[in-house]
Amino acid sequence: MPSLILEPDRLALKPEPIPAKKNPWYLNPYLHVGLTVLLSAIAQILFKVGSDQTPGGSLLGFASLKSGVIWLGIGCMIGSLLVWLQALRSLPLIIAFNLAAATQVVVPLGCWLFLGEEVSVLRWIGVFVVTVGVIIIAKPLAKLEERL
Amino acid sequence: MTLFFFLLLMASTSSSVAGQVCFKRAMSDVMPEKPRDRAFWIGAGLIGATAGFFFWLAILPHFPLSYIYPIEAIDRIMLAVAASVFLQERLTPRLLLGIGVITGGTVLVSVT
């Protein structure tokens, strides 16, 4: 029930302009792609840690399921799948999938930072080239967004 | 990389690409599905993604992650082909350039 008492401050305000038909920020498909990238990179690193803890695994890697870390990774994977499905609502699959290539930048970075894996100079160059590719695809989209 | 692991990698890649196409089919606003059809496509996508995941889990312990992960670049090309064939998505020159550069970068990461 709205209050019947008039608030002088509010009355002084100009009437609100009719908002342009724009989706709220949390429905932005690019945010969804970004979250997918982050969550799946975390999942990959957790899978590596977990599968290292359970060596001599079976053919399909079922032995790894004994590891709690693997299950944490599965949780991140499910989260990333849910945001990914949201992203697919409005983005073409090819575009969303190639923007998600940013995972290939985040994963080696995470391996280097958290797993202590060595990343050679040439490999860093590869990571840089992937970044350039993602920017090539993302740039015209960003311009299109601005115009909308 | 032996032939066995290469085949495992192929199995993982093609399962996940098929899964992605099903997911897009389910979520597409352009081709709205009846709720039952949507559930079917999400289910099919989950089967593809899960199969791909278990093949992937079998490969992982045998290689350092930063080496093996980018080899998945093959699925980028497979997916572009699958999306244009099955979903009629348009491949613009800029998109192809981007895919080419990403794949190049990915291969560079894998061979080093």
Whether A45 is covered by a domain: the verdict is: yes
Determine contact: B30 vs chain A, CB below 8 A: no
Most confident by average pLDDT, A43-47, A60-64, B67-71: A43-47
Counted across chains A and B, CB pairs separated by less than 8 A come out at: 156
DSSP for chain B, please give it: --HHHHHHHHHHHHHHHHHHHHHHHHH-SSS---HHHHHHHHHHHHHHHHHHHHHHHHHGGGS-HHHHGGGGGHHHHHHHHHHHHHS-----HHHHHHHHHHHHHHHHHHH-
Question: Is this prediction's ipTM beyond 0.90?
Answer: no
* Residue A78: its H or E element: helix A68-90
**N- to C-terminal Cα separation, chain A:** 37
Chain B residues with CB inside 8 Å of A94's CB? 79-80, 83-84, 89, 91, 95, 99
Q: Do B112 and A81 touch (CB under 8 A)?
A: no
Tell whether B13 is within 8 A of chain A (Cβ). no
Tell me what the pLDDT averaged over chain B comes to.
85
Structural domain including A141 reads: 28-147
- A3 domain residue, yes or no: no
For the cut 80, the answer to whether the pLDDT of residue A140 exceeds it is no
- At residue A60, the pLDDT reads 56
For B:73-112, CB contacts with A below 8 A are: 76, 79-80, 83-84, 87, 89-91, 94-95, 97-110, 112
- The two tokens of residue B53 are 């995941």
Q: Is B65 on the interface with A (CB under 8 A)?
A: yes
User: Domain for residue A4, yes or no?
Assistant: no
User: What's phi and psi for A144, nearest 5 deg?
Assistant: -60, -40
* Residue A127 placed within a domain: yes
| Residues of B whose CB is below 8 A from A55 | 61
When pLDDT is averaged across residues A10-21 and rounded to a whole number, the result is 54
pLDDT value of residue A61: 61
B45-94 pLDDT, tens digit per residue, is 999 989 998 888 888 888 876 667 666 677 888 899 999 999 999 889 99
Compute the nearest-CA separation of A19 from chain B (Å).
24
- Tell me the pLDDT tens digit for each residue of A86-137: 999 889 999 999 999 898 889 889 999 998 888 889 889 999 999 999 999 9
Domain ranges of chain B: 3-111
Residue A22 lies in a domain: no
Q: Please count the structural domains in chain A.
A: 1
Q: What pLDDT is stored for residue A24 in this prediction?
A: 81
Q: Which chain B residue shows the shortest CA-CA distance from A58?
A: B58
The answer to whether B101 contacts A77, with C-beta atoms less than 8 Å apart, is no
